[in-house]
Amino acid sequence: MRTLFIAILCNALLFGGQVFAHDILVIQGMRVKPFDEALQGFASTCTAGSKKIVYTDTEGIDIIKTVREERPRLILAIGADALSRVKMIKDIPIVYLMVLNPQQIADGKNITGVSMNVPAVKYLAMMEKLPLRRKSIGVLYDPNHTGYLVRKAQQAAREEGLEIVVSEVRDSRDVPALLEKMENTVDLIWMVPDTSVVTPVIVEYLLMFSQQQRIPIVTFAGKYVDMGALFSLDIDNVDLGRQAGEMAREILDGTPVKELPPTDARKTVFKVNRNVAKKLGISLDEIGYASP
């Protein structure tokens, strides 16, 4: 009996650090519907035990200290702020979701996840169905925010026989002049998710330019379609969560993070403004528009 007790005690001392309170510690940046929907999708795919911390509900919390106390097997970071808070942790796998351009925030061997970006090829496949005379697409962007995304889009466009004409936005006051240069060179404007460009003032100007010059705008969010863009390819928040859940499940089952590279959203929600299409003389039925 004494020998058995000593063996149990030794095991506890040697392996006690590997006893996890929760398999997954969820760090959610804020309490908003899209994040909650993504977490719902995650939980439907990865059913491991978890604990959630909403950062904005716990003012002054030391996230790093909390992670050390909880000792999870995996961290789920929902939102850019959450990823920024945990990116310094190197010894626990981190899966992120609901983050735009995550490579600008964190790039570690223990980090992977699903970005909010829709692959450029999906946009290009829809654009090709439009009556493009010049096969030319205009993009306004800030290299510091979406340079990586735009470079990937340019490469994909070349492979499809299209050209992306870019203009760097350094100041919102430059936008009218930049658009004027594009007026006779592009068939449409592609609005990418760039926080330097997608501001209320610039969006209003883009939509006005679209109406006046009869140049359609393709965008990433349905709300801009309601405002006057031609169509959008938005993400499916729940499916984004499912993607991250599939990754997390594989990691918990023993797959190394390096074998699960970061990826983009796989499912999109298509939305079109038929009134805008009619004004621009674009027949959506003839060119076979359907939800991707």
3-state secondary structure 162-192: CEEEEEECCCHHHHHHHHHHHCCCCCEEECC
What's the average model confidence in pLDDT over 152-176? Answer: 91
Contact present, 14 and 64 (Cβ < 8 Å): no
Q: How confident is the model at residue 7 (pLDDT cuts 50, 70, 90)?
A: very low
H/E run at residue 236? none
Percent of all residues in the chain with a pLDDT value above 70, rounded to a whole number: 90
What domains appear along the chain, each with residue ranges and CATH number? Answer: 2-116+237-266 (3.40.50.2300), 120-219 (3.40.50.2300)
User: Has residue 71 got a pLDDT over 60?
Assistant: yes
| Residue written as token pair 């100007």 | 205
User: Has residue 211 got a pLDDT over 60?
Assistant: yes
**78 alpha-carbon distance from chain centroid:** 11
User: Has residue 207 got a pLDDT over 90?
Assistant: yes
pTM given for the model: 0.83
Q: How confident is the model at residue 21 (pLDDT cuts 50, 70, 90)?
A: low
Other residues' Cβ atoms within 10 Å of the Cβ of residue 88 = 11
Q: What pLDDT is stored for residue 9 in this prediction?
A: 39
Q: How confident is the model at residue 285 (pLDDT cuts 50, 70, 90)?
A: low
* Out of 51-65, 101-115, 248-262, least confident range: 51-65
Q: What pLDDT is stored for residue 126 in this prediction?
A: 87
Instruction: Strands of 94-227 (E only): list them.
Output: 94-99, 111-115, 136-141, 163-168, 188-190, 217-219
User: Has residue 18 got a pLDDT over 90?
Assistant: no
User: Has residue 41 got a pLDDT over 90?
Assistant: yes
Question: What is the tens place of the pLDDT at every residue in 83-95?
Answer: 999 999 999 999 9
What's the average model confidence in pLDDT over 29-45? Answer: 95
Q: What pLDDT is stored for residue 244 in this prediction?
A: 98
What's the average model confidence in pLDDT over 255-267? Answer: 95
What's the average model confidence in pLDDT over 101-116? Answer: 90
What's the average model confidence in pLDDT over 118-131? Answer: 89
Q: What pLDDT is stored for residue 42 in this prediction?
A: 97
User: Has residue 19 got a pLDDT over 60?
Assistant: no
Structure tokens at 140: 């306004």
Burial of 147 (0-12, 13-18, 19+ CB in 10 A): middle
Q: What pLDDT is stored for residue 246 in this prediction?
A: 98
What's the average model confidence in pLDDT over 66-94? Answer: 94
Q: What pLDDT is stored for residue 292 in this prediction?
A: 43
Q: What pLDDT is stored for residue 14 in this prediction?
A: 38
User: Has residue 39 got a pLDDT over 80?
Assistant: yes
Which residue from 46, 68, 103 is spatially nearest to 255, judged by alpha carbons? Answer: 46
